[in-house]
A = this chain, B = another copy of it.
């Protein structure tokens, strides 16, 4: 049994999600909850059906309130340490689906301060530049500009800093040490930072001068921050935020998540067609060593990255996916063929995305919150 470690800044080893769910103390998403969501949306999003979103905190509470006529808002974000990759899009695409179905606002935080503080060699200017690039990807997904508010921490600091102070006064070093594993060498910005990530959980309540429920779609590694939010917010007379948590998008290389800091592990939204092609061709596969063996014994789709991409993102048709699974497992489809299916899908998706990303440059001001 391989060991693993998950913090908001680092994921090591092969993550056992059942164990992680227990360790974090979050709840698995069950059929019951899926049925409740479906009542409002009419269908179940691919990411729910295929187990990309697997856990939550208090999503049932948010639905209870929603069913009684109380709206919630969405909050998600991005640490701008590089260009956006496919893994980052998961919670954003899901947030868009929730926005469309529940007609709710989204607050999107770009944490340039965080990335500057936690990445030794990243300058604040670089993080800030990436925040702009990442915002283009958010907008390209088609969010409603009237309901979507994007902000970068350093650019919106006049508003955020005062609210972060309210959080900070209720949070001591001991707690951050226990939650994040901080020690004496941790820089004082890192210790304070989590307060900035808690602010959007109650920012709309401050702006609207009434308590509003918050739902955060996010990668499960970010849960420690929101555990702190859930601890502190009631002390400030705001609701605890609810969350829905996705597993990591598999990296192209064996094991681990797509990581913006390892270029070969990730497909970026800015990658050109030939880069996409070459990256997927070099991705870890479940194929056998030789063509002869593969045809004889078949491949292993469950560990094959190209197959995972189809399953998690690019092949929404259950029947088509099952057919690919069976054919790869039996050896009928070769690894190169499986990869080619994936390459075409990813290329088509990013071709469209890049067009919209270009258009986003013209309308970015409709989305940005500034002091």
Interface residue A192 (Cβ < 8 Å from any Cβ of B): yes
Residue of B161, B168, B183, B184 near A188 (CB, 8 A) is: B168
Closest to A170 in B: B187
Interface residue A313 (Cβ < 8 Å from any Cβ of B): no
Contact: B154 with A155, CB < 8 Å?
A: no
Contact: B371 with A165, CB < 8 Å?
A: no
Q: How far is the CA of A254 from the CA of B49 in the complex (A)?
A: 74
Q: List which A155-177 residues lie within 8 A (CB) of chain B.
A: 155-158, 160-162, 164-166, 168-174, 176-177
Q: How far is the CA of A170 from the CA of B161 in the complex (A)?
A: 20
CB distance from A318 to the nearest CB of B (A): 47
Residue of B124, B176, B188, B194 near A176 (CB, 8 A) is: B188
Contact: B187 with A168, CB < 8 Å?
A: yes
Most chain B beta-carbon neighbours within 10 Å: one of A116, A156, A172, A177: A172
- Total interface residues in chain A, CB < 8 Å: 38
CB distance from A215 to the nearest CB of B (A): 26
Interface residue A322 (Cβ < 8 Å from any Cβ of B): no
Q: A154-B161, A158-B157 are in contact. Are A188 and B172 (CB under 8 A)?
A: yes
Interface residue A117 (Cβ < 8 Å from any Cβ of B): yes
Q: How far is the CA of A160 from the CA of B165 in the complex (A)?
A: 14
Interface residue A290 (Cβ < 8 Å from any Cβ of B): no
CB distance from A238 to the nearest CB of B (A): 16
Which B residues lie within 8 Å of A174 (CB)? 184-185
Contact: A195 with B188, CB < 8 Å?
A: yes
Q: List which A171-210 residues lie within 8 A (CB) of chain B.
A: 171-174, 176-177, 182-192, 194-195
Q: List which A128-159 residues lie within 8 A (CB) of chain B.
A: 154-158
Q: How far is the CA of A184 from the CA of B184 in the complex (A)?
A: 11
Interface residue A113 (Cβ < 8 Å from any Cβ of B): yes
Closest to A190 in B: B168
Given A117-B169, A154-B165, A165-B189, output 8 extra A-B contacts at Cβ < 8 Å.
A113-B161, A156-B158, A157-B157, A168-B190, A172-B185, A172-B186, A188-B192, A188-B195
11 A-B residue pairings within 8 Å (CB atoms)? A113-B161, A117-B165, A154-B158, A154-B161, A157-B160, A158-B371, A173-B182, A173-B186, A176-B188, A189-B195, A191-B192
Which residues of A are interface residues toward B (Cβ below 8 A)? 113, 116-117, 124, 154-158, 160-162, 164-166, 168-174, 176-177, 182-192, 194-195, 371
